[in-house]
Amino acid sequence: MGSLTIGAKYKTTLKDPGTPGILRMNDDKFTFTPNDPRSAMKLNVEFRSIKGHKFNKVDGNKPALLNLSKDSDKGGGYMFEFDNVGNRDLCRDFVARVLGKHQGMPPRPTMPPEISVPSAGMEQLSAAEVERRVKLLREDSELQKLHKKFVLGNILQESEFWATRKNLLDDVANKASKQKPGFKTAMSDVRPSADGRTNKVTFNLTPEMIHQIFAEKPAVRRAFLDFVPKKMTDLEFWRKYCRAEYLLRTKNTAAAAAEAAEDEELAVFLKNDDILVKEAKLKIKQVDPTLDMEADAGDDYIHLPDHGILRDGSKETVDNDSEFARRTLSQELNRHAAVVLEGIASDVELTDAKSVAEALARSKKEPPSTSAVDDTSHERLLKVARMTEIEDLQAPRSLPYAPLCIKDPREYFDSQQANALRSLGASNDGRKSRNCSLSIEEAFHHLTDQISSIKVNKSNCTVIQSDMAVKVLNELNEGISRSRRLNLKNPQEGLLGRVPQHTRDELMDHWTAIQELLRHFWSSYPITSTVLYNKVQRVKDAMTQIYQKLQAIKESAQPDVRHEISRLVKPMTQALDAAFSHDLEQQQKSAKAGNKSNGF
C-alpha cells in the first residue's frame, strides 16, 4: 500500500488552534509527532480501531479538516487540520484505501507481542524535508498529479518518487532566505487612550506588539509562561501588565508601591528585569578592561543639572533609591536596537501569545557552563595581553621559512615528469616500453609519409554512407518546408492547435506520465534485487495501461484530426515499444542462461 508523510495540525476540538507536527501513515497505523518535543500530543494509533472518516467542505477561510472516527460505542476520534485542500485530499484517499483493506480482512487473532523491527522501506524524514516536499506539491499542480497517480496508486514508493527530484528539493532549500527577518526599526510604544467621560484608560495590544514585548522584556515573557493559564487568564495577565505600565508612565511611586504590596503578580512588572541585568553583567565582563567606562559615562553631561533627554515634554531623571524600574529613553533605544539586530526566529508564528512565548524561550541560548566561562576568561586574558602590546615596537608574527632556490627550472620540472612516467611504467599491463629518439626533421618526414599513405590507400572506414545522408537531408528539408507553409497560413495554429482541447490535455497528461515511468524503468536496469524486479513489473503494468489508452484515443479520433493525433501519439508509442523490447530481450537472455525469470 505504501506510506504517506505530510505536515498537519492535531486538534482536540474545532476551536483548538491545533498542535503542528508531522503525520505519518502506513498500512497498519498512523502516528503524529509534534514539532515541539516537549508537547504531549503524540499519537500512535492502529487503523483497525478506526471505523470511518469525515471531511469538511472548504469555503472561504475555512481550514481543511479530516476527522478519523473510532467505534461508535467508544466515541471520540482524531481531527487533523491541513494547510490546503490538496494535502487533505491526499491523506483522505490514503485513509479510504487503508480502511477498505482492513474492513475486508478478518479480525487479527490474539498473538503474543513481538519485538517491532523498523521497516527498511520506511523513510526517516526530518520536519524540514517534509515541509519542502509539501511545498513543492502545493506549488506545482503537475507534480501533485503525478504524485497522486503513481505514489497513491501504488505504482511507485514515496522514496522512489522523490529520488529523481533531489535537485528540486535542493533548489527549495537553497532558495530559502538565509537572513533572519527582524522587527521594525520603529519602537512600539504602548500608549493608552483615555476617555474623559468615563475616566477609563484603554490599551490596544496587537500580536506584533505582544511579540516585541516578549522579545524586549524577557521577564514579562517568563511571567506569562508561569502565570498563564495556571494562575490567571490571558486577558487578566495583560490587564495587570498595562496597569503596571500606566503606573510607571505616571511616575506615581506611592501608588505603585501600594499596589505592588497587595498584588505579587503586578509587582513583577514594576521591578527591574533581572534577566536583562544578568545579560548586562555578562556583557560588561567581555569589555576590554583597558576601557574606562566610568570616565566615559560623564561625556554626555546627563548627570549635570539642566542637561538630559526630553521625552513627552518632560526631562527624564533617574531615581536610584527607588526599587521600581525606571527606564530611560537611551536604555529603551539600546534594548530595542539589540532586539532588532538579533532578528526573529524562523519558527515563531504570530498565532497566539503562548506559542510566541514558547518559541522565543526555545530560541534563547542556554547560559554557558563553568568550563565554557573559564575558557572565555582565558581567551579574554590572552586578548588583553595582545592588545596591550604596542604593535610598532613588536617583531612581525610570522613563522620562519626556507626560501626555495631553483637554479634551472627546466631540470626541476623535467625530473618531476620523468619520475611520473617511471611510476606509470611499472604497471603498463605487460606492454613493453620502446625508447625512440627522433629529431624534428625525422618526425616531420614520418608524419608526412603517414598522411600520404592514407591519401593513397583511401581508408574504407566511412563515417556515414552518402546515399543515407542525402535521404535524411531530403526528409528534413521536406518537413521544414511543410511546417513553414502551415505556420505561414496560420501562425497561431500548430500541430497541437488542430487537436480538440480535451484530447490535447489528455495527451499531455499521458506524455508527462510516460516520461516519469520511463525514467524509473531505465534507471532500474540492471535488475539486481527483488525490489527492482517488483518495481519494473509495476511500471510495466502502468505503461501498458497508458499504451492501450493511447491506441483508444487514436482509434476514436475524428477523421479530420486523426492524422495529427497519430503524429502526436507516434513518439509516445515508440518510446514505450523500446522499453518493452528491452524488457523482452532481458527475459530471453535470462531464459537462455538458465537464470530466474526475474533476471537476477
Q: What is the pLDDT of residue 491?
A: 47
- Contact indicator for 112, 95 with CB cutoff of 8 Å: no
377 belongs to a structural domain: no
- Judgement on whether residues 205 and 332 belong to the same structural domain of the protein: yes
Summarize the confidence of residues 206-233 as an average pLDDT: 86
469 in the same domain as 517: no
Q: Which of 339, 363, 387 is the last residue of a domain?
A: 363
Q: Which residues of 414-429 are buried (b: 16+ CB within 10 A; e: fewer)?
A: eeeeeeeeeeeeeeee
Quote the pLDDT of residue 500. 83
Who contacts 276 (Cβ-Cβ below 8 Å, separation ≥6)?
A: 217, 218, 219, 335
Length, in residues, of the chain: 600
Read off the C-alpha cell for 88: 487533505
Residue 121 clears pLDDT 80, i.e. is over it: no
CATH of residue 164's domain is 2.30.29.30
Ramachandran region, residue 599 (left: φ > 0; alpha: ψ -120 to 50; beta: rest): left
pLDDT band of residue 307 (cuts 50, 70, 90) is low
Distance of CA 30 to the CA centre of its chain: 23
Identify whether the C-beta of residue 358 lies closer than 8 Å to the C-beta of residue 36. Answer: yes
CA-closest candidate to residue 600, choices 530, 524, 539, 540:
530
C-alpha cell at 194: 483615555
Arithmetic mean of pLDDT, 110-121: 36
Grid cell in block for residue 493: 495554429
Query: What's the half-sphere exposure (Cβ side, CA atoms, 13 Å) at 296?
Result: 4
Mean pLDDT calculated for residue range 352-363: 79
Cα–Cα distance, 53 to 103 (Å, whole number): 13
Kindly state whether residue 416 falls inside one of the protein's structural domains: no
At 118, is the pLDDT very low, low, confident or very high (cuts 50, 70, 90)?
Answer: very low
* Poorest-pLDDT segment among 70-74, 87-91, 444-448, 465-469: 70-74
Output 127 or 338, whichever has higher pLDDT. 338
Residue 107 and residue 477: Cα distance in Å, rounded?
70
| 250 phi and psi angles, rounded to 5 deg | -80, -10
Q: Which pLDDT does position 521 carry in this prediction? A: 92
pLDDT in tens, 538-574: 999 999 999 999 999 888 888 888 888 888 888 999 9
User: What value does the mean pLDDT take over residues 363-371?
Assistant: 56
The pLDDT value given to residue 567: 85
Q: Between residues 251 and 413, which one has the greater pLDDT?
A: 251
Confidence (pLDDT) at 26: 87
| pLDDT classification of 489: cutoffs 50, 70, 90 | low
C-alpha cell at 4: 504517506
Is residue 305 over pLDDT 50? yes
Tens digit of each residue's pLDDT (9 = 90 or more) over 532-542: 888 999 999 99
Residue 333 has a pLDDT of: 83
- Whether residue 406 is contained in a domain is answered as no
**Model confidence at 157: pLDDT above 70:** yes
Distances (CA, A) of 294 to 248, 276, 282, 331: 28, 20, 17, 17
User: Does 203 lie in the same domain as 74?
Assistant: no
Contact between 311 and 169 (Cβ < 8 Å)? no
Q: Beta partners for 4?
A: 25
Q: Is the pLDDT of residue 245 over 50?
A: yes
- Give 120: exposed, middle or buried? Use CB within 10 Å, 0-12, 13-18, 19+: exposed
H or E segment at 53? strand 52-55
Q: Go through 477-505 and write b for each residue having 16 or more CB atoms within 10 A of its CB, e for each that does not.
A: eeeeeeeeeeeeeeeeeeeeeebeeebbe
Task: Give the N- to C-terminal CA distance of the chain in Å, as an integer.
Answer: 25
Least confident of 107-111, 342-346, 583-587: 107-111
C-alpha cell of residue 182: 527582524
Residue type, 294: E
Task: Report which of 584, 599, 587, 578 is spatially closest to residue 522, judged by C-alpha positions.
Answer: 578
Same domain (yes/no): 102, 229: no
List the helix and strand counts (H, then E) for the chain: 21, 11
Is 518 domain-assigned?
yes
CA distances from 418 to 411, 412, 421, 423, 438 (A): 10, 10, 5, 9, 18
In this structure, the answer to whether residues 486 and 525 fall within a common structural domain is: no
SS3 state of residue 507? helix
Residue 149 lies in a domain: yes
Write down the H helix ranges in 271-308: 274-285, 293-296
Question: How many folded domains does the chain comprise?
Answer: 4
Interatomic CA distance for residues 297 and 261, integer angstroms: 34
The mean per-residue pLDDT over the stretch 502-516 comes to: 89
At which of 363, 384, 402 does a domain end?
A: 363
What was the pLDDT predicted at 592?
Answer: 82
The answer on 92 and 61 residing in a single domain is yes
Domain-located, residue 405: no
Residue 489 and residue 500 in contact, taking contact as beta carbons nearer than 8 Å = no
**Per-residue pLDDT reduced to its tens digit, 55-103:** 888 777 788 888 888 765 555 788 899 888 888 888 888 888 888 777 6
pLDDT at 478: 77
The whole-angstrom separation of Cα 524 and Cα 522 is: 5
| pLDDT at residue 338 tops 60 | yes
pLDDT band, very low/low/confident/very high, at 492 (cuts 50, 70, 90): very low
Contact 44, 31 (CB under 8 A): yes
97 with 227, same domain?
no
146 and 198 share one domain: no
What are the beta bridge partners of residue 413?
none
Same domain, residue pair 197 and 345:
yes
| Sign of the alpha-carbon dihedral angle for 19, 23, 27, 28 | negative
Q: Would you say residue 393 lies in a domain?
A: no
Q: Give the residue-averaged pLDDT of 194-198.
A: 70
Residue 369 has pLDDT above 70, yes or no: no
Neighbours of 171 (CB within 10 A): 13
Q: Are residues 543 and 474 in the same domain?
A: no
What is the pLDDT at residue 487? Answer: 56
Would the pLDDT of 520 be above 60?
Answer: yes
- Whether residue 335 contacts residue 183, with contact meaning beta carbons closer than 8 Å, is answered with no
Q: Do both 333 and 248 map to the same domain? A: yes
Q: Which domain holds residue 476?
A: 465-494
- pTM for the full model? 0.37
What's the pLDDT at 544? Answer: 92
Q: Phi-psi category of 41—alpha, beta or left, where left has phi over 0 and alpha has psi -120 to 50?
A: beta
The 3-class secondary structure across 211-224, one letter per residue, is HHHHHHCHHHHHHH
Three cell numbers, residue 17 = 488552534
Tell me: do 318 and 284 sit in the same domain: yes
Per-residue pLDDT at 473 exceeds 60: yes
Closest Cα to residue 48, out of 22, 74, 66?
74
The answer to the question of residue 164 being in a domain is yes
